[in-house]
Amino acid sequence: MSTIKNILSSRLKKAEIYEYLAEKLKDAGFGGVDIAFTPMGTRVTIYAMRPGRVIGLRGRTIREISEELEKRFGVENPNVTVAEIEVPELNPQVMAYRIAQALQRGVRHRRVAFWALRRIMDAGARGCEIEISGKLTSARHRTEKFAAGIMPKSGDPALKYVEVGKASVLLKPGVYGVKVKIFPPDAPMPEEIAVAEAQEAEVVESGEGSEGA
């Protein structure tokens, strides 16, 4: 039971840290974080479009993050590093933020959704799904979904490879939610797993029988 509690506690802490960093670093193009708890300390790798903003002037921002992780979240000996996002269009968190920002500027939800779909698919994604929820065209709350390519819904491909990003924005009608799912270019489907062809082995006779003849 203690093992289950430790796993749940670790996942909850990671979720809380993710929310904190997403809010603090949204102007830096925050795209996710990898957290690894080890006996020597905690490795925290932050992915962002603008690493300089994560580091801050003379390292001020990254020091603030390290202190906050230690004091607020109880992270022992945090070692924080920053990695630049090479292809922003394949990062669902970045694209969710871009959609939210476009909605805030007054761009219609369908227009920005199709724009995002094109950018993601042109970047090489195997599939993409975008959900925008809120009072979109009337006083009633509803959700519209936009999709392209392949998007696994269950099984190992969905759990292992599909990446998800979320964002929200407050507009006059209320809060709009954005959810982006991306099936990356290198993600395989079960039916696409290649099986190596068997090669015939050459049989070499030892010749022992002929020597005794």
Give per-residue pLDDT as tens, 39-95.
888 899 999 999 999 999 999 999 999 999 999 998 889 999 999 999 999 999 999
Residue 105 lies in a domain: yes
**Secondary structure, 3-state, 21-71:** HHHHCHHHCEEEEEEEEECCEEEEEEEECCHHHHHCHHHHHHHHHHHHHHH
Residue 38 above 90 pLDDT? no
What is the tally of structural domains in the chain? 2
Look at residue 194 in the predicted model and tell me its pLDDT: 58
* Chosen domain end from 54, 84, 114: 84
Look at residue 199 in the predicted model and tell me its pLDDT: 61
Cα pseudo-dihedral 183, 184, 188, 189, rounded to 10: 10
Residue 212 lies in a domain: no
**Unique residue bearing structure tokens 């006059």:** 172
| 97 and 80 together in one domain | no
* Chosen domain end from 84, 106, 139: 84
| 24 and 97 together in one domain | no
Please give the Cα distance from 134 to 157 (Å, whole number).
29
Residue 207 lies in a domain: no
Residue 196 above 70 pLDDT? no
Sheet containing 30-38: order of strands: 30-38, 41-48, 78-84
User: At 154, which CATH number?
Assistant: 3.30.1140.32
User: At 54, which CATH number?
Assistant: 3.30.300.20
What share of the chain in percent tops pLDDT 90?
62
**pTM listed for this prediction:** 0.77
| 40 and 77 together in one domain | yes
Residue 176 lies in a domain: yes
| 30 and 104 together in one domain | no
Q: Mean pLDDT across the chain, nearest whole number?
A: 87
| 93 and 180 together in one domain | yes
State the Cα angle at 105 between 141 and 54, rounded to 5°: 105
What share of the chain in percent tops pLDDT 70?
88
Paired sense of beta strands 163-171 and 127-134, if any:
unpaired
Residue 201 lies in a domain: no
Residue 37's domain spans which residues?
2-84
